[in-house]
Amino acid sequence: MCGITGWIDWEQDLSQQQPVLEQMACTLKERGPDREGYWFSPRAALAHRRLIVIDPVGGKQPMLFTQGEQTYALTYNGELYNFRELREELRARDHVFRTHSDTEVLLHAYVEWGEECVNHFNGIFAFAIWDEARQRLFIARDHLGVKPLFYAQVGNAIVFGSEIKALLAHPLVEPVLDDEGMKAIFVSLFMSGGGIFRDIHELRPAHCATFTRERTHIRPYWQLVSRPHTDDLETTAEYIRSLLKDTVKRQLIADVPVVTLLSGGLDSSGVTSLAAREFQSEHKVLDTYAINYANSEEHFEGNAIRPSIDRPYVEQVARYLPTNHHDVVVSTEELLENLLVPMRAHDRPKMGQIETSLYLLFKVIKQNATVALSGESADEVFGGYPWFHQEHVLNTPTFPWIAARMTPRGDNQFMNMGTPFLSPALAQELHPHEHMQRLYQEALAEVPRLEGESPRDARIREIFYLNMTRFLLLLLDRKDRMSMATGLEVRVPFCDHRLVQYVWNIPWEMKTVDNIEKGILRRAFSGLLPEEVRMRRKSAYPTSFDPAYTQAVRRWTLEILNNANAPVNSFVNVEFIRQLAEHPDEETRGENAYFLFDYLIQANAWLQEYHVVTP
């Protein structure tokens, strides 16, 4: 993976603007620690920070293609998993290649098909191409949003980059937090997307945009299509298996060491099994990695979200395949020392220790590998979360992950923050409930309906769409930022858009065959895993159960609340949060409460470090 950034201006000459572009690119050095590159023309300045994965010599960027009077310049973050087939197709169309990189294939695909090139790609990507002859910028982002891309339009200029920090390094872009930004930070924090700051936008997944002096055109190039599913149960399971086998094989292609993440759950274990078999065919042993927490297992108490600890299942899979397994144990001290890393990686406050632990895991993996495969997104695609199976969630008109944690009274002071969390003045200004309802209705309006579907099936289709287009982005953002903060590329086979489209139309009764969540995926993995692992119930990503962690973040929170100069206190209900911090044993504390503490700590540091301006 890499970091990309650039600046287009139809009024001023950018040929001598290298200091500004270098400043923008420098903010992305963790994403691309191996090499940097720049390209300038009077109207365009492109930069690239490279993490070398394929073709170390030939994949240098920005990459140029010149034909007669036409010049195309590309800066690209990602991987095309079908680049070998595309290269052969383009060769048949008289294209000549000088490297073995997927970068050159992407550039030639644009030369051949123009903006329709995105319809030929299977991969994870965010890229920008400057067409010098037409004075036109084209940007695009992959189907599910694995790779990020932000842009800002300020006057006659377009500034873009893999992360918001690259845009903020440009003198035209300021960290101004308007009402929409405040809603994103203090109300809809369990929603992803958006540029947070005024004038900054995030290109949505499966979208592309064209910028010229005269106009801006943004459009989707791919979307889910609803149609009747005609395959029987056996055919469906076999096709899923064949798709995943093909996807994993493609995603193992690299010129650097590749490993997998292994939690002992169905998803990561299935991906690991397929990857291990590919390794065995080449007489190699796959390395696998799992996260664990010091002083945590002795305090573990199972619940509906985490019914079991991972370690025994991880060990079963590692023995069964077998793999060369590594258990990465992180301490409470490490979690606390790195609590602000997610905020700096996302350019906004985020999920706290769940993200911090991933960062620490990826730091260890990076010592031995550059690419890892993960089981991310199977729950969204196949329906693995508890809220897919809870009647009260199906009947609640809001996002399901919010409804799933509502109290019997129907309120939710943690997941949908809202009035209790906000200062009374800010709550009155931002109208949190109305804001969340607007986001919810906007999402529902996009759902591709299937004519003749029963009301219940239509509702389940809505739940799937909300998860795949809203909740999944939270997890993909988390995985991208924490991995790239260490210079590690994480690939996600369950985000292959072919698989996502196929599973989208599988009926709910078939998805839950054998009366278990993700039943059809379990059928697809038959014979690939130990039965106890294949039939293991969903258990969420692990967190530390060490009481020392919650005690520490509670103390840290109280220090902020007691500091008259702490900027976050202007936005939150100080007394409400103080009650949570000072009375830890009351009902509804637990994980929700320490998430709130993690978030407030990061929000306070973010307001300070980013010099956030509120008009």
CA–CA gap between residue 139 and residue 78 (Å, rounded): 13
Report the C-alpha dihedral over residues 579, 583, 587, 591, rounded to 10 degrees. Answer: 90
Give me the residue label for tokens 């759950």.
265
Which is it for strands 63-67 and 150-154: parallel, antiparallel or unpaired?
Answer: unpaired
CA–CA gap between residue 592 and residue 599 (Å, rounded): 11
Q: Which of 2, 117, 208, 495 is catalytic?
A: 2
**Annotated catalytic residue 117:** no
Rg (CA), the chain: 24
Q: Give the DSSP letter string of 307-323.
A: -S-SHHHHHHHHHHTT-
Structure tokens given for 244? 């995943």
Contacts 24+ apart (CB under 8 A), 108-115: 108/65, 110/72, 110/74, 110/138, 111/65, 111/67, 111/72, 115/208, 115/210, 115/221
Alpha-helical runs (H) found in 395-451: 400-403, 418-421, 424-430, 432-446
Alpha-helical runs (H) found in 214-264: 233-251
Other CB atoms within 10 A of residue 501 CB: 16
Which is it for strands 44-50 and 2-9: parallel, antiparallel or unpaired?
Answer: antiparallel
CA–CA gap between residue 86 and residue 608 (Å, rounded): 47
Closest to 114 in 3D by CA, of 133, 99, 97: 133
Which is it for strands 258-261 and 287-293: parallel, antiparallel or unpaired?
Answer: parallel
The gap from C-alpha 536 to its chain's centroid, in whole angstroms, comes to 25
End-to-end CA distance of the chain: 36
Are 533 and 313 in contact by the 8 Å Cβ rule? The answer is yes
Task: Give the residues across from 73 on adjacent strands.
Answer: 64, 130
CA–CA gap between residue 389 and residue 248 (Å, rounded): 29
| Cα dist from 594 to 334, 577, 591, 600, 613, whole Å | 16, 11, 5, 10, 27
CA–CA gap between residue 202 and residue 141 (Å, rounded): 10
Known catalytic residues are: 2
